[in-house]
Copies of this chain bind each other. A is one copy, B any other.
Amino acid sequence: MKALLDSMQGVPANLKFFIEGEEEIGSPNLEPLVRKYKPLLSADAAIWEFGGTDRRGRPNMYLGLKGVLSVELRAKGASRDVHSANAPIISNPAWRLLWALNLLKDKNEKILIEGFHENVQSPSPEEVECLKNIPFEEEFKEELKLESFLQNKSGSEALEALLYQPTCTINGYISGYTGKGSKTVLPHEASAKLDFRMVPNQDPTEIFRKLVRHLERHEFGDLEVIRHGSTEPTRTPLTDPFVKLVAETAENVYNKKAVIYPTSAGSGPMHLFQNFLGYPVVSAGCSHPEANTHAPNENLRIDSYIKGTKFIATLIRDFAS
């Protein structure tokens, strides 16, 4: 902003900044606020601060996000842990929770919840074409030091699965004794945390309802099912003129062709802006491949930061003209 003010005697467009700090827990307070201040948040387009450059210095941009629904399942047994000699006559919640989870996804990674795949949108012809231009395999395997993808998927299969496949993931579980060696105990409770990633037009509330119904139908209605945060899936169309402008500006600033992802595999409350407020949203950011996102020693490089600043300033100028 300062550079634009100095060099152009003013910022050539109206700018609105929107910052929130609860994305990691599902932005529980964002929707009421966006609904309340709808007129104040109107705009022609938005940049979503997210992403950065890849290993070859190409800027990566994402036109959408998956939805996510986080849940917790809990099973209860006796009033306290008991000696495991009692196993033939006392219910073990560690087993019951395990059998319930096994009803959600089979060992071939197929999600078994009735109706889970209803409303799943397939990639459009433009999106299928777009995927071919993403140098995914080299980037991704290097970053995660992977030797192969799940189920030995090829690079293009893996990319399509990553962006278009809804998921059911165990984030964690715990029950009973987990220390060193052994303990002959029969636990009295067990719990698991899961998240579901959704694609347009799946709906978190609908998925939660299907999950509960699925467990009830298979005689696991005694389990407690707790709903944590959720956000809806969303995508800005590849054909939107704003996408073209962002890609061209990025190529000019970075001197590399931008890599456009029709969506990210991640989640966030983009749908409120894209769907409810109704304007195109494209992600751009100052990160780099060694940033250790969400991990110890997360970091930002100064040169990436300055480059990102130049890109945004140029985009504002280009957008205004």
Chain A residues with CB under 8 Å of chain B are 24-26, 66, 68, 70, 72, 78-92, 94-96, 98-99, 101-102, 105-107, 140, 144-146, 149-150, 153, 158, 161-162, 165, 167-178, 181-187, 190-191, 193, 195, 197, 228-229, 264-267, 293-295
Q: How far is the CB of A165 from chain B (nearest CB, A)?
A: 4
B172 near A185 with CB under 8 A, answer yes
Residue with the highest number of chain B CB atoms closer than 10 Å, among A84, A101, A175: A84
Find A182's partner among B25, B80, B182 (CB 8 Å cutoff).
B25
Find A84's partner among B87, B140, B169 (CB 8 Å cutoff).
B169
A84 near B171 with CB under 8 A, answer yes
Please report the C-alpha to C-alpha distance between residue A90 and residue B167 in the assembled complex, in whole angstroms.
12
A184 near B267 with CB under 8 A, answer yes
Please report the C-alpha to C-alpha distance between residue A162 and residue B185 in the assembled complex, in whole angstroms.
15
A89 near B183 with CB under 8 A, answer no
A177 near B171 with CB under 8 A, answer yes
What residues of B have a CB within 8 angstroms of the CB of A174 in the complex?
172-175, 178
Q: How far is the CB of A48 from chain B (nearest CB, A)?
A: 15
Please report the C-alpha to C-alpha distance between residue A85 and residue B266 in the assembled complex, in whole angstroms.
5
CB-CB under 8 A for A177 and B184, given A78-B146, A88-B158, A153-B89: no
CB-CB under 8 A for A88 and B185, given A98-B170, A170-B98: no
A68 near B265 with CB under 8 A, answer no
Please report the C-alpha to C-alpha distance between residue A24 and residue B92 in the assembled complex, in whole angstroms.
21
Residue of B nearest to A78 (CB): B144
17 more A-B residue pairs beyond the given contacts A92-B170, A102-B102, with a C-beta to C-beta distance below 8 A: A70-B182, A84-B169, A85-B162, A87-B168, A88-B161, A89-B161, A94-B170, A95-B105, A95-B107, A98-B98, A172-B175, A172-B183, A176-B193, A181-B228, A182-B195, A182-B229, A184-B267
What residues of B have a CB within 8 angstroms of the CB of A105 in the complex?
95
Residue with the highest number of chain B CB atoms closer than 10 Å, among A88, A91, A150, A173: A88
Residue of B nearest to A218 (CB): B107
A90 near B144 with CB under 8 A, answer yes
Please report the C-alpha to C-alpha distance between residue A278 and residue B225 in the assembled complex, in whole angstroms.
54
Q: How far is the CB of A96 from chain B (nearest CB, A)?
A: 8
- Nearest first, the 6 closest Cβ-Cβ pairs linking A and B are A172-B176, A70-B182, A88-B161, A172-B177, A94-B170, A85-B265
CB-CB under 8 A for A187 and B172, given A26-B182, A83-B294, A90-B144: yes
A99 near B89 with CB under 8 A, answer no
Please report the C-alpha to C-alpha distance between residue A174 and residue B192 in the assembled complex, in whole angstroms.
9
B193 near A79 with CB under 8 A, answer no
A171 near B186 with CB under 8 A, answer yes
A170 near B175 with CB under 8 A, answer yes
